[in-house]
Amino acid sequence: MAVIREQYLHAQRRLQLIHGDITQSSVDAIINAANSQLQHGGGVAGAIARQGGQTIQLESDAWVRKHGAITHDTPALTTGGNLPSRYVIHTVGPIWGEGDEDRKLNMAVQSALRLADDNDYASVAIPAVSTGIYGFPKDRGARVILDSILAYLNSQDESSLMQIEITLIDEHSVDIFAAEFDARWGSNPS
């Protein structure tokens, strides 16, 4: 896990860009880019389910049976199983081409952060939601995800969240997010 960029925000909140495996993040909760039925087969969701163990899928199945499918604005919460993080927040980002993708991605990110706040978590790690198999363009996704994080934190003076890590495993995505950090705050490598 390497810190690529770091930015301190209002109230000493820290936003970091991390090059590494989100399943190894030692935070209160990791955010999972999930599908609406919480079937964790591929991409980030598959990696989280494999590393976290069967508990995550069993709890996800129970969540869907009890609450129904999750949406862009209604994430789900499970324990982290065998992961270093205690919890997983499952959010659904948009599939590119379905329409209104920026708004839906904004909702997915902000609703996940709200759920973390509702549970008084101090730290979360988030992947590049929707920019993998869902086809959301990575550069646009980087902008929307950062806009969403900042808008959420700016609207929540009493937020429990003190550290948000954007954790990406592939170098290409890291470069795109680093460029977005640089465009906003200048080059600030750690």
Q: Could you list the pLDDT tens digit for every one of the 190 residues in the chain?
A: 999 999 999 888 999 999 999 999 999 999 999 999 999 988 888 899 999 999 999 999 999 999 999 999 999 999 999 999 999 999 999 999 999 999 999 999 999 999 999 999 999 999 999 999 899 999 999 999 999 999 999 999 889 999 999 999 999 999 999 999 999 998 755 4
pLDDT given for residue 43 in this prediction = 84
The CATH architecture to which 2-185 belongs is 3-Layer(aba) Sandwich (3.40)
CA distance 5 to 22: 16
DSSP summary character for residue 12: G
Q: Which two tokens stand for residue 58?
A: 């069993």
- Structural domain boundaries of the chain? 2-185
Measured CA to CA, the distance from residue 133 to residue 4 in angstroms comes to: 24
Query: Quick one: which of 25, 22, 80 has its CA closest to 47?
Result: 22
> How much is the pTM?
0.95
